[in-house]
Structures are given as structure tokens and as C-alpha cells.
Amino acid sequence: MISLSEIDTTVKRATKAVGFSWGIAEEVGKGISLLEMFGLPGLKNLNQYYKIYKDKKFQNISLISKSNISKISYCPITSGINFLDQIFTLKEFSEIDFENLAFPILFIPFLSRSSEIIGKKIFFKVDEREFLLNFNQSIFSNYLKEQIVIEKANKIKIIFLENENTFNENDWKELYSLSKETFVDESEELKKTAAGAGFTDND
């Protein structure tokens, strides 16, 4: 099995070879390694994208807005780079829409890292496929078992989720009450032997 380190290095070189800067190549290398670690076909999608990248025109985007529409497919790499760069502005939107994004799987690692930076989960919907990005620690999806290439997404929706507990207040109170059984009452003996107690000053 090819290691994540080998994937990172090869992807960086290939990205530079198709015309991106070394700085962007570094980001793509990390991103594809992340996708492979989480079981998503990042390298497969990137390979297919690079096969057509030089011959087919893709739309670059510099300033991302709440709604982004283009007749020419957006480049997932430049879109991802700029999304990450603008994340502190973009997080103020509750939702962001894209129409016509090429190879959307390649956009995911930038969203995943954005989730970590702002401390919020991000919901990513690619047509009928759904992804939940959790602080760059995990990706939940209904797509994980489908090792296929998505060349274009017609409708993309990005939603910034508010942090909420998965349990209710009663669950918390009951568990906290149970945890209190481990508390130890402070006795006179404990006071004498606790750290810092005693009558002798050794300083």
C-alpha cells in the first residue's frame, strides 16, 4: 500500500507539473492525503482532473460570495484555496451556494481545514451526496463506499453548523449526578495529608 507521505510528495509534484505554484501544490498534497486517510477517492479524482486540466478551460474565482454561479465549471483547487483564505468572512453567511463546480471531491479538504479553523462543523451537499466535516478530524458521508469520480456538481450547498450538544439537559444532569458518587468527602485526615498541608516549612 502506498503511504500518505508518498501520496503527498507525488501529488505536490504533479500539481506543479500541470501549472500550479509550489505553494498551491503544497496545499493540494496535504488535501489529497487527507481525503485518502478518510477513505475518499482523492487521488483518483485528482488524476482524472489533471488529465483534462490543460485542455479544458476552468473558471477561477477570487472573491467568494453567498451565491456563486458560472457557465464555465469552477476549478475546485483555486475555489478551495480562496475559500480557505476567506473563511473568517465566509463564516458570517449561514449558507453558501455554488453552481457548476468541477470535481467537487477535491474541494472537500479545504472545507475540512476551514471547519477546524473556525471551530464549526460544515455540511457539504454535492447534488444528492452529503458530507459532514468535523473540525478536520473526520468526514461522515453517504458517499464513502462509492469509489467513483464526480466530474461536475450542478448544485453545491455549504452550511455552517452551530455547535450544539448531542444530548439534552436531563441526560447531562443524570450522568453528572452519577459521577458525583466518585467524589470523596474531605476528612480531617485528608486535610492533614493533602498537598501543601503540614506544620513543617521545608523552604
CB 126 within 8 A of CB 104: yes
pLDDT average, residue stretch 127-138: 95
**The pLDDT of residue 168 is above 90:** yes
**The pLDDT of residue 203 is above 60:** no
Mean pLDDT of the chain: 91
First to last CA, the chain: 60
pLDDT average, residue stretch 110-122: 97
Confidence class of residue 43 from pLDDT cuts 50, 70 and 90? very high
Nearest to 67 by CA among 38, 28, 93, 47: 93
Confidence class of residue 31 from pLDDT cuts 50, 70 and 90? very high
Interval 85-113: pLDDT, tens: 999 999 999 999 999 999 999 999 999 99
CB 29 within 8 A of CB 37: no
Distance of CA 66 to the CA centre of its chain: 19
Taking CA atoms, 101 is separated from 50, 69, 167, 175, in Å, by 15, 9, 36, 46
Distance of CA 83 to the CA centre of its chain: 12
pLDDT average, residue stretch 136-144: 86
Please tell me the predicted confidence (pLDDT) of residue 186: 60
Strand pairing class (67-74; 95-102): parallel
**The pLDDT of residue 64 is above 60:** yes
What is the DSSP-derived secondary structure letter of residue 59?
B
Output the CA torsion 168→171→176→178 (10° steps): 180
CB 76 within 8 A of CB 103: yes
Which range (22-36, 170-184, 187-201) has the least confidence? 187-201
Confidence class of residue 188 from pLDDT cuts 50, 70 and 90? low
Please tell me the predicted confidence (pLDDT) of residue 146: 57
Give the span between the Cα atoms of 12 and 107, in whole angstroms. Answer: 16
